[in-house]
Structure 1
Amino acid sequence: MKAARFLATLLCLMLVAVSSVSAHGGRGRIGIHFGHYWGPGFYPSPWYYQPTIVVPPPQPTVYIEQSVAPGGNFWHYCRSVGGYYPYVQACPEGWLKVLPDAER
């Protein structure tokens, strides 16, 4: 009877131990394995160097100076006032473009 009681107690303790392991979620199998391994010894993972980034210096800024557009060889005449710009500052009906005379 003592042996049966001892085995029952041992069985209960083992079941409690197994249930607590499964309650924490299995972490995988841990064990010691023996066998032959013919591969290379310990080596670190390969180190990949970042490629060298070459950025050329920016080209210098080039400014192109443009000449002033010619205003044309016109005089502006106002008929109602009877005068030319800039002697007459305002013209009520609008300016009339007139080719300049060489005599004036």
Structure 2
Amino acid sequence: MFEERLRGYIAALEDNNIEVDKKLIIKGKFSKEFGSTFISNLIKKKIKFDAVSAVEDFTAIGALLELNNNINVSEKVGVIGFANEPFGELVSPQISTINQKSDFIK
């Protein structure tokens, strides 16, 4: 399922004539800790980005928390997750998330 999301992301970039920057595609564990670590690494390497699209909400939350430690997130970086977990409402700013209806996925 996660590879399908990556293919969709790449296809959306290509459909809009946006170059795919492989250094911005980071694969790892799906956890809050990983989200925090990958954002920290991007910032340390001075890699510019204006959005984070995580394959699930745990990673998105970790990314958002790390961003909050470094910049004013609401003005500079959008964060989106996937699954619409209820805990996404507990952070500020709230993450955007895609509602995953697991019972319909085959």
TM range (shorter): under 0.3
Q: Where is the helix percentage greater, Structure 1 or Structure 2? A: 2
Please give the TM-score of this superposition, normalised by the length of structure 1.
Answer: 0.15
Please give the TM-score of this superposition, normalised by the length of structure 2.
Answer: 0.15
Q: Which has the higher contact order (CA 8 A, sep 6+)?
A: 2
